[in-house]
Amino acid sequence: MSLFKLLSGLAIGVCLLPAQAVNVVVNSGYRAPLPLKAAPGQVITLFVRPFSLRLTSGISADTIPLPVNVGGFSATLRQTFSSPIAVPILSVNPFGTCPAVATSPACSYLVAITVQIPFELATNTDRSRLPENFASLTVAENGVEGDPVQITPVSSNIHIVTSCDSTLQTISPPCTLLVKHSDGNLVTPKNPAVQDELLTISAYGLGRTSTRVETGKLPVDASNPVPELKIGLRMGANPDAPDPDVDPSLAVLSTKEIGLYEISFTAPAPDKNTPACSEKVSSNFSVTVGNGASSASFSLCLRIPEL
> Hey, which CATH number is domain 156-307, 2.60.40, 3.30.2010, 3.40.50, 3.90.1200?
2.60.40
| Prediction pTM value | 0.84
Does position 252 have pLDDT exceeding 60, yes or no?
Answer: yes
From 169, 170, 191, select the one nearest 181 (Cα to Cα): 191
Q: What is residue 5's predicted lDDT score, i.e. its pLDDT?
A: 36
Q: Tens of pLDDT along 138-158?
A: 999 999 999 899 999 999 999
Average pLDDT over residues 109-138: 89
Asked whether the beta carbons of 261 and 206 are under 8 A apart, the reply is: yes
Average pLDDT over residues 112-140: 90
* Per-residue model confidence (pLDDT) at position 101: 56
pLDDT tens by residue, 185-222: 999 999 999 999 999 999 999 999 988 999 999 998 77
**Rounded CA gap, 63 and 46, in Å?**
21
Q: Are 163 and 248 in contact (CB under 8 A)?
A: no
The per-residue pLDDT of the chain, averaged, comes to 84
- Of 23-37, 207-221, 243-257, the one with minimum mean pLDDT is 23-37
> Residue 176: which residues within 8 A CB-CB, separation 6 or more?
162, 163, 186, 188
Give the residue extent of every domain in the chain: 3-153, 156-307
